[in-house]
Amino acid sequence: MAAHQDRMAGSVEVCKRLFLGVALIVGAAAVLLLSDLRQRQATKDAGGGAEKQYRVAIFQIASRQILDDSVQGTIDGLAEEGLVQGRNLSVTRFNAEGDMVTANAIVQNILQGNFDLVATVSTPSLQTMANANRAGKLRHVFSVVTAPYGSGVGITGDKPGEHPEHLLGMGTFQPVRQVVQLARELYPDLKVAGTIINPGEACSQACLAMAQDECGKLGIDLLVAQVENSSGIYEAASSLAARGIEAFFIGGDNTVETSVESVFKAAVAARIPILAYAPDHVDAGALVGMGANYYEVGKAGGKLAGGVLTGRVKSSEYAIRDLMPRKLALNQQALAGLKAPWRIAPELLAQADILIDEQGHKTVRGGAAPVSTPALPAGKTWQLHMVSYSQSMMVEQWMRGFADACEKLGLRAGEDYQLTYRNAQGDMATANMMIDAAIDSQADILMTLTTPTLQAAVRKKPPMPVLFGLTANPLLAGAGKSDSEHLPGFTGISTMSDYEGMVVVIRECLPNARKIGTLYNPSEDNSVFNMEQMKEALAKAGLSMVTRATNEATEVPAAALALAGEDIDAICQVAGNLHDSSFPAIAQVARQLRKPLFAFVSGQALTGGAAIAVARDYEQGGRDHAALALRVMRGENPTAIPFAAISRTLIIVNTTHAAELGLALPPSLLQRADQVVDGKN
């Protein structure tokens, strides 16, 4: 919010200077619109006259892929109408990041900003803007709205004149009936499904009513859980799973969409699929995603906005309509591990616009992905400097994922980018020198791995973009106040462990457990944070934690021996640089004393001695890191990119390690694990 106000203040000062310049040149007084000087300079049209300049505000309620796609489509739609940024158009983007207090402040800024038009994407942004603009001070075009007639903004029908003069746009009702029908097709015995909604959202109420109607026709019992905010979503999803639902239907609710990973977490634990009203959810693990091509929806909204600005579209002649350019996404990988025999028929696979196969390979059919992607600057080899605090299995997995993603993204090593990797070997002074070396060499992007190297970068504030990875809590490391409000030039991929998921696994394996032990490093913020979070998660489940502090690798074997000698039921080693690199010593003690050993790093279960790992997929984290770097290389401002978590979590079970540690593995866990290995290699 402060950033928007700072921009507005800066714009006021620029306009004062512009006013003076024009007055001196033409000798006439005028009231100038607030604008950036560079974007307000008039270019000449073919006839030699000054081309009219337009100012457009684009307001989205949160950072979500479908909304980002829609915004890009809006900008491209304006361009198709002849309104091009930097020539005759200035676009200012506003994002409330899901906060309604921020949203209300944003709309006031827009109303006071002397814009020619505001374009909103999503129902909440439509409602917030329209309610503040009831007097019609500003022309308003909306898109990505489920049910405009029920949104309470004065739209009464689908005929010309049945909407306010200043307000027009299009609806995009999610294909609720089609998704419900498809669920029955994929699993004919489906009897009970569940959905989560925020009852305060008109769009979710509209989707719920249609889902209930269609489920009733098909004999499916639809259970509903209500939430007021995102903090209650995981509990709501878990409660539905406990009530025996066989599938989740999600979509049309902005509260749920912004924290949809909580639904996925509950679904994975219950081994039931998610069927979504948005195609992009298959990337996170949904079985089916059917919905609009939101780039095309946004483009239609942009073309409409351009028509309004240029006079081509007359509001009195315009009828609100529904637009649904359908896109079907299917995920064959999501079939693995489901309790019920869901099946995707070959003929349906052939219809998919997006398909993820059993190995996780993604195919986008019908040409390129909808969002226009800028090319890399021609002839430039990007210098990427990656600095790690220490070497560990996590770092190795991350690097493998990074290299794999670069290849799949079409980035050519030595041509498109040059990667310089440095490892501080656990020494903070060395890490600081490596950050300095990256700055001195004028690297294009600095990529930090682990919390200590991010902290070093935060202190030094390098002039180049900083993209962090392998950091559980970037806010604790000083990189920002929230995922969206952070230091200029900083963004990245966080790796906060799935503490609650681990507690579920421990309870599943050791139902009578009372005490769980771990080592931590009091001088490492990340280690302390992970220990405290795990302790809190255990306490919620009625378990206590026993801890031992170590500061050096040489202290780990004795500390692990002392910990295992306590009256504990298992060791659950929290993540941290010291104990990740010293994990073999911990595993050796656990094996000698036959103490079940749980870990948060997949490699520690695969070959490191742990029986089970509830792990962020660190190879996927490396892939996410590479994709993030590509976005910056293509011109995105890292300051505007919110922090994001690794997009996948795994359960890894090693039956040989479990036997060595005296841990009996429940069949239920073996069935839902992502990977079960029966040896050390």
Q: What type of residue is 439?
A: I
| Neighbouring C-beta atoms of residue 154, cutoff 10 Å | 12
Residue (of 585, 584, 588, 590) closest to 603 by Cα position: 584
233: helix, strand or coil: helix
79-107 pLDDT, tens digit per residue, is 999 999 888 999 999 998 878 888 899 99
For residue 450, what are its two tokens?
């682990």
What domains can be seen in the chain, in order of their start residue?
Answer: 1-41 (no CATH), 50-173+296-322 (3.40.50.2300), 176-289+324-364 (3.40.50.2300), 382-497+619-645 (3.40.50.2300), 499-617+649-677 (3.40.50.2300)
3-state secondary structure of 11: helix
Q: Residue 672: which residues within 8 A CB-CB, separation 6 or more?
A: 268, 269, 271, 337, 651
Which pLDDT score is estimated for 159?
86
SS (H, E, C) 296-350: HHHHHHHHHHHHHHHCCCCHHHCCCEECCCEEEEEEHHHHCCCCCCCCCCHHHHC
Please give the C-alpha separations between residue 361 and each of 271, 327, 329, 413, 551, in angstroms, as whole numbers: 22, 18, 13, 22, 42
Quick one: tokens of 614?
Answer: 């509830």
Residue 680: per-residue pLDDT? 52
618 SS3 class: helix
pTM of the model: 0.44
Side-chain-side CA neighbours of 104 within 13 Å: the count stands at 3
pLDDT at 619: 87
Q: 418 pairs with which residues across the strands? A: 383
Structure token digits, residue 393? 């299995």
Determine the pLDDT at residue 374: 53
Collect the ranges in the chain with pLDDT lower than 50. Answer: 1-48, 366-373, 681
User: According to the model, what pLDDT value does residue 653 have?
Assistant: 95
Predicted local confidence at residue 373, as pLDDT: 41
Which two three-digit tokens encode residue 449? 């791995």
- From edge to edge, which strands make up the β-sheet containing 321-322? 89-95, 54-60, 117-121, 139-145, 167-171, 321-322
